[in-house]
Amino acid sequence: MLNQILQPIQPQIGRFEERFKKTLESDVKLVQAMGDRIMETRGKILRPALSLLTAQAIGECSDRAIDAAIGIEIIHTATLIHDDVVDFADKRRGTEVLNLRWGNQAAVLMGDFLLARALQVLVGLDSMEVMRAATRAVGRMIEGEIQEIQGGVEAESAIYFSMIDKKTASLMALSCEVGAILGGGTPEQVAQMSTFGKEVGIAFQITDDLLDFTGDEESLGKPVGNDVRERKLTLPLIRALGNCQNGEAERIQAKVRSGIESDEELQEVFHFVERYKGIEEAREEAKTYATSGLKNLLVLTTSDARQALELAVRHVVDRDR
Protein backbone atom coordinates (compact mmCIF):
# COMPACT_ATOMS: atom_id res chain seq x y z
CA MET A 1 0.00 0.00 0.00
CA LEU A 2 2.88 2.38 0.75
CA ASN A 3 4.02 2.24 -2.88
CA GLN A 4 0.54 3.28 -4.01
CA ILE A 5 0.55 6.17 -1.54
CA LEU A 6 3.91 7.43 -2.80
CA GLN A 7 3.17 6.95 -6.51
CA PRO A 8 2.07 10.56 -7.28
CA ILE A 9 5.26 11.95 -5.72
CA GLN A 10 7.78 9.27 -6.71
CA PRO A 11 10.33 11.67 -8.28
CA GLN A 12 10.15 13.97 -5.26
CA ILE A 13 10.61 11.04 -2.86
CA GLY A 14 13.82 10.12 -4.67
CA ARG A 15 15.16 13.65 -4.20
CA PHE A 16 13.94 13.67 -0.61
CA GLU A 17 15.91 10.51 0.22
CA GLU A 18 19.13 11.81 -1.37
CA ARG A 19 18.97 15.13 0.44
CA PHE A 20 17.86 13.64 3.75
CA LYS A 21 20.95 11.43 3.79
CA LYS A 22 23.20 14.36 2.93
CA THR A 23 21.70 16.43 5.75
CA LEU A 24 22.84 13.80 8.27
CA GLU A 25 26.48 13.93 7.14
CA SER A 26 29.15 15.09 9.58
CA ASP A 27 32.95 15.29 9.84
CA VAL A 28 32.67 13.94 13.38
CA LYS A 29 33.08 10.17 13.11
CA LEU A 30 30.64 9.26 15.88
CA VAL A 31 27.96 11.58 14.53
CA GLN A 32 28.44 10.08 11.06
CA ALA A 33 28.27 6.54 12.47
CA MET A 34 24.99 7.31 14.23
CA GLY A 35 23.68 9.03 11.09
CA ASP A 36 24.50 5.92 9.05
CA ARG A 37 22.67 3.81 11.62
CA ILE A 38 19.62 6.05 11.35
CA MET A 39 19.59 5.61 7.58
CA GLU A 40 19.83 1.82 7.94
CA THR A 41 16.95 1.52 10.41
CA ARG A 42 14.50 4.22 9.32
CA GLY A 43 10.82 3.36 9.21
CA LYS A 44 8.06 4.45 6.86
CA ILE A 45 8.25 8.07 5.74
CA LEU A 46 4.62 8.84 6.53
CA ARG A 47 5.06 12.45 7.64
CA PRO A 48 7.13 13.54 4.62
CA ALA A 49 4.67 11.72 2.36
CA LEU A 50 1.72 13.61 3.86
CA SER A 51 3.57 16.91 3.47
CA LEU A 52 4.62 16.32 -0.14
CA LEU A 53 1.24 14.92 -1.17
CA THR A 54 -0.48 17.96 0.34
CA ALA A 55 1.79 20.32 -1.60
CA GLN A 56 1.17 18.34 -4.79
CA ALA A 57 -2.59 18.22 -4.27
CA ILE A 58 -2.79 21.98 -3.75
CA GLY A 59 -0.40 23.20 -6.39
CA GLU A 60 3.26 22.28 -6.72
CA CYS A 61 5.56 19.88 -4.87
CA SER A 62 8.62 22.12 -5.22
CA ASP A 63 12.19 21.83 -3.95
CA ARG A 64 11.17 24.04 -1.02
CA ALA A 65 8.41 21.57 -0.14
CA ILE A 66 10.97 18.75 -0.26
CA ASP A 67 13.32 20.64 2.05
CA ALA A 68 10.47 21.30 4.47
CA ALA A 69 9.62 17.59 4.50
CA ILE A 70 13.29 16.84 5.26
CA GLY A 71 13.25 19.27 8.18
CA ILE A 72 10.08 17.71 9.58
CA GLU A 73 11.43 14.17 9.23
CA ILE A 74 14.65 15.17 10.99
CA ILE A 75 12.62 16.60 13.87
CA HIS A 76 10.65 13.34 14.04
CA THR A 77 13.88 11.31 14.07
CA ALA A 78 15.35 13.45 16.85
CA THR A 79 12.27 12.97 19.01
CA LEU A 80 12.41 9.19 18.55
CA ILE A 81 16.03 9.15 19.73
CA HIS A 82 15.15 11.21 22.79
CA ASP A 83 12.08 8.99 23.38
CA ASP A 84 14.26 5.88 23.45
CA VAL A 85 16.49 7.43 26.11
CA VAL A 86 13.53 8.56 28.25
CA ASP A 87 11.83 5.16 27.91
CA PHE A 88 15.02 3.12 28.55
CA ALA A 89 14.27 1.36 25.26
CA ASP A 90 16.57 -1.26 23.78
CA LYS A 91 14.82 -1.89 20.45
CA ARG A 92 13.01 0.08 17.79
CA ARG A 93 11.71 -1.63 14.66
CA GLY A 94 13.51 -4.77 15.75
CA THR A 95 16.97 -3.19 15.87
CA GLU A 96 19.21 -1.91 18.64
CA VAL A 97 18.57 1.75 19.51
CA LEU A 98 21.34 4.36 19.49
CA ASN A 99 21.45 4.75 23.26
CA LEU A 100 22.01 1.02 23.79
CA ARG A 101 24.84 0.95 21.27
CA TRP A 102 26.57 4.27 22.01
CA GLY A 103 25.16 5.29 25.40
CA ASN A 104 22.63 7.86 26.59
CA GLN A 105 25.00 10.82 26.38
CA ALA A 106 25.84 10.27 22.71
CA ALA A 107 22.20 9.55 21.84
CA VAL A 108 20.88 12.70 23.53
CA LEU A 109 23.53 14.82 21.80
CA MET A 110 22.73 13.18 18.46
CA GLY A 111 19.10 14.15 18.95
CA ASP A 112 20.22 17.71 19.67
CA PHE A 113 22.41 17.68 16.55
CA LEU A 114 19.45 16.60 14.46
CA LEU A 115 17.24 19.36 15.87
CA ALA A 116 19.95 21.88 14.95
CA ARG A 117 20.11 20.46 11.42
CA ALA A 118 16.33 20.62 11.13
CA LEU A 119 16.42 24.30 12.10
CA GLN A 120 19.10 24.94 9.47
CA VAL A 121 16.94 23.35 6.80
CA LEU A 122 13.75 25.16 7.82
CA VAL A 123 15.45 28.56 8.18
CA GLY A 124 16.72 28.10 4.62
CA LEU A 125 13.13 28.17 3.39
CA ASP A 126 12.98 31.88 4.32
CA SER A 127 9.37 31.55 5.48
CA MET A 128 8.37 32.99 8.84
CA GLU A 129 5.00 31.25 8.48
CA VAL A 130 6.71 27.86 8.28
CA MET A 131 9.09 28.68 11.15
CA ARG A 132 6.25 29.81 13.41
CA ALA A 133 4.32 26.62 12.68
CA ALA A 134 7.40 24.43 13.23
CA THR A 135 8.47 25.98 16.54
CA ARG A 136 4.89 25.85 17.83
CA ALA A 137 4.63 22.15 16.91
CA VAL A 138 7.97 21.23 18.52
CA GLY A 139 6.97 23.01 21.73
CA ARG A 140 3.69 21.11 21.82
CA MET A 141 5.47 17.80 21.20
CA ILE A 142 7.75 18.37 24.17
CA GLU A 143 4.77 19.30 26.35
CA GLY A 144 3.13 16.03 25.32
CA GLU A 145 6.25 14.05 26.23
CA ILE A 146 6.33 15.69 29.65
CA GLN A 147 2.64 14.94 30.16
CA GLU A 148 3.35 11.30 29.37
CA ILE A 149 6.25 10.87 31.80
CA GLN A 150 4.50 12.67 34.67
CA GLY A 151 1.16 10.87 34.28
CA GLY A 152 0.28 7.58 35.89
CA VAL A 153 -2.39 5.15 34.79
CA GLU A 154 -5.51 7.19 35.46
CA ALA A 155 -8.72 6.35 33.64
CA GLU A 156 -9.18 9.84 32.21
CA SER A 157 -9.50 10.04 28.45
CA ALA A 158 -9.16 13.86 28.50
CA ILE A 159 -5.57 13.51 29.74
CA TYR A 160 -4.83 10.86 27.13
CA PHE A 161 -6.20 12.88 24.22
CA SER A 162 -4.44 16.04 25.37
CA MET A 163 -1.17 14.11 25.48
CA ILE A 164 -1.44 12.45 22.05
CA ASP A 165 -2.71 15.66 20.46
CA LYS A 166 0.56 17.29 21.50
CA LYS A 167 3.00 14.38 21.31
CA THR A 168 1.93 12.78 18.01
CA ALA A 169 -0.74 14.78 16.22
CA SER A 170 1.11 18.11 16.34
CA LEU A 171 3.86 16.87 13.98
CA MET A 172 1.34 15.29 11.60
CA ALA A 173 -0.56 18.57 11.58
CA LEU A 174 2.68 20.45 10.90
CA SER A 175 3.51 18.16 7.98
CA CYS A 176 0.23 18.89 6.23
CA GLU A 177 0.14 22.57 7.20
CA VAL A 178 3.62 23.21 5.79
CA GLY A 179 2.81 21.23 2.65
CA ALA A 180 -0.23 23.43 2.14
CA ILE A 181 1.73 26.64 2.75
CA LEU A 182 4.52 25.75 0.31
CA GLY A 183 2.07 24.33 -2.21
CA GLY A 184 0.53 27.80 -2.44
CA GLY A 185 -2.66 27.05 -0.53
CA THR A 186 -5.25 29.57 0.58
CA PRO A 187 -5.61 30.29 4.32
CA GLU A 188 -8.65 27.99 4.34
CA GLN A 189 -6.70 25.15 2.71
CA VAL A 190 -3.80 25.61 5.14
CA ALA A 191 -6.16 25.48 8.13
CA GLN A 192 -8.12 22.49 6.82
CA MET A 193 -5.00 20.50 6.01
CA SER A 194 -3.58 21.22 9.45
CA THR A 195 -6.80 19.83 10.95
CA PHE A 196 -6.56 16.84 8.61
CA GLY A 197 -3.05 16.10 9.88
CA LYS A 198 -4.10 16.49 13.50
CA GLU A 199 -7.01 14.06 13.22
CA VAL A 200 -4.98 11.53 11.24
CA GLY A 201 -2.25 11.85 13.87
CA ILE A 202 -4.70 11.04 16.66
CA ALA A 203 -5.97 8.02 14.70
CA PHE A 204 -2.34 6.97 14.15
CA GLN A 205 -1.51 7.07 17.87
CA ILE A 206 -4.66 5.23 18.93
CA THR A 207 -3.78 2.52 16.38
CA ASP A 208 -0.24 2.40 17.75
CA ASP A 209 -1.63 1.89 21.23
CA LEU A 210 -3.97 -0.82 19.97
CA LEU A 211 -1.06 -2.68 18.39
CA ASP A 212 0.61 -2.85 21.79
CA PHE A 213 -2.26 -5.20 22.71
CA THR A 214 -3.06 -6.87 19.38
CA GLY A 215 0.22 -6.92 17.44
CA ASP A 216 3.08 -9.38 17.48
CA GLU A 217 6.74 -8.82 18.25
CA GLU A 218 7.96 -9.80 14.79
CA SER A 219 5.75 -7.24 13.02
CA LEU A 220 6.22 -4.48 15.60
CA GLY A 221 9.95 -4.95 16.05
CA LYS A 222 9.51 -4.75 19.84
CA PRO A 223 7.72 -6.78 22.53
CA VAL A 224 3.96 -6.33 22.84
CA GLY A 225 2.70 -4.96 26.12
CA ASN A 226 5.46 -2.36 26.41
CA ASP A 227 3.03 0.42 27.29
CA VAL A 228 1.45 -1.61 30.08
CA ARG A 229 4.87 -2.58 31.44
CA GLU A 230 5.90 1.07 31.41
CA ARG A 231 2.64 2.04 33.19
CA LYS A 232 1.57 4.23 30.28
CA LEU A 233 -1.98 5.45 29.96
CA THR A 234 -3.47 4.26 26.65
CA LEU A 235 -6.99 4.30 25.28
CA PRO A 236 -7.75 0.54 25.19
CA LEU A 237 -7.01 0.27 28.91
CA ILE A 238 -8.86 3.50 29.73
CA ARG A 239 -11.99 2.34 27.92
CA ALA A 240 -11.90 -1.11 29.53
CA LEU A 241 -11.51 0.41 33.00
CA GLY A 242 -14.45 2.71 32.30
CA ASN A 243 -16.63 -0.18 31.15
CA CYS A 244 -15.95 -2.35 34.20
CA GLN A 245 -18.33 -1.51 37.03
CA ASN A 246 -16.91 -3.77 39.73
CA GLY A 247 -13.82 -4.09 41.89
CA GLU A 248 -11.85 -5.76 39.12
CA ALA A 249 -11.18 -2.36 37.52
CA GLU A 250 -9.57 -1.03 40.70
CA ARG A 251 -7.48 -4.17 41.05
CA ILE A 252 -6.23 -4.02 37.45
CA GLN A 253 -5.54 -0.31 37.70
CA ALA A 254 -3.55 -0.82 40.91
CA LYS A 255 -1.62 -3.69 39.32
CA VAL A 256 -0.61 -1.60 36.31
CA ARG A 257 0.23 1.41 38.48
CA SER A 258 2.50 -0.64 40.75
CA GLY A 259 4.20 -2.35 37.81
CA ILE A 260 3.66 -5.61 35.91
CA GLU A 261 6.03 -8.24 37.27
CA SER A 262 5.36 -11.29 35.09
CA ASP A 263 4.00 -12.45 31.74
CA GLU A 264 1.03 -13.91 33.60
CA GLU A 265 0.12 -10.51 35.00
CA LEU A 266 0.51 -8.96 31.56
CA GLN A 267 -1.84 -11.55 30.05
CA GLU A 268 -4.34 -10.84 32.81
CA VAL A 269 -4.39 -7.16 31.80
CA PHE A 270 -4.70 -8.14 28.13
CA HIS A 271 -7.69 -10.38 28.86
CA PHE A 272 -9.29 -7.64 30.95
CA VAL A 273 -8.94 -5.08 28.15
CA GLU A 274 -10.44 -7.46 25.61
CA ARG A 275 -13.24 -8.66 27.89
CA TYR A 276 -14.39 -5.13 28.67
CA LYS A 277 -14.29 -4.03 25.01
CA GLY A 278 -11.31 -1.70 25.36
CA ILE A 279 -9.83 -2.86 22.06
CA GLU A 280 -13.15 -2.74 20.23
CA GLU A 281 -13.99 0.78 21.41
CA ALA A 282 -10.50 2.18 20.81
CA ARG A 283 -10.52 0.78 17.27
CA GLU A 284 -13.84 2.49 16.58
CA GLU A 285 -12.50 5.78 17.93
CA ALA A 286 -9.46 5.53 15.65
CA LYS A 287 -11.79 5.04 12.69
CA THR A 288 -13.94 7.98 13.80
CA TYR A 289 -10.93 10.32 13.84
CA ALA A 290 -9.78 8.98 10.48
CA THR A 291 -13.23 9.57 8.95
CA SER A 292 -13.35 13.07 10.41
CA GLY A 293 -9.90 13.77 9.00
CA LEU A 294 -10.94 12.69 5.52
CA LYS A 295 -13.68 15.32 5.41
CA ASN A 296 -11.02 18.03 5.41
CA LEU A 297 -9.75 16.78 2.05
CA LEU A 298 -12.87 18.24 0.43
CA VAL A 299 -10.95 21.52 0.39
CA LEU A 300 -8.75 19.95 -2.31
CA THR A 301 -9.68 19.32 -5.92
CA THR A 302 -9.82 15.69 -7.03
CA SER A 303 -6.38 14.44 -8.06
CA ASP A 304 -4.03 11.47 -7.76
CA ALA A 305 -2.36 13.20 -4.80
CA ARG A 306 -5.67 13.65 -2.98
CA GLN A 307 -6.55 10.00 -3.59
CA ALA A 308 -3.14 9.04 -2.18
CA LEU A 309 -3.89 11.08 0.95
CA GLU A 310 -7.16 9.17 1.33
CA LEU A 311 -5.26 5.90 0.95
CA ALA A 312 -2.74 7.04 3.56
CA VAL A 313 -5.55 7.50 6.08
CA ARG A 314 -6.78 3.94 5.47
CA HIS A 315 -3.21 2.70 5.88
CA VAL A 316 -2.92 4.48 9.24
CA VAL A 317 -5.87 2.62 10.80
CA ASP A 318 -5.47 -0.73 9.01
CA ARG A 319 -1.72 -1.28 9.51
CA ASP A 320 -0.25 -4.09 11.60
CA ARG A 321 2.94 -2.28 12.68
Asked whether the predicted pLDDT for residue 130 surpasses 70, the reply is: yes
Q: pLDDT tens for residues 54-66? A: 999 999 999 999 9
Structural domain boundaries, residue 34: 2-318
Say which residues have a Cβ less than 8 Å from residue 62's Cβ, sequence separation at least 6: 55, 182, 183
Q: What is the CATH number of the domain that holds 165?
A: 1.10.600.10
pLDDT at 155: 58
**Structural domain count of the chain:** 1
- Please count the other Cβ atoms lying within 10 Å of the Cβ belonging to residue 44: 14
Q: pLDDT tens for residues 306-321? A: 999 999 999 999 987 7
pLDDT at 151: 66
Q: How does the average pLDDT of the chain come out, rounded?
A: 94
Asked whether the predicted pLDDT for residue 152 surpasses 60, the reply is: no
pTM of the model: 0.94
Asked whether the predicted pLDDT for residue 220 surpasses 90, the reply is: no
pLDDT at 1: 80
What pLDDT band is residue 21 in, cutting at 50, 70 and 90? Answer: very high
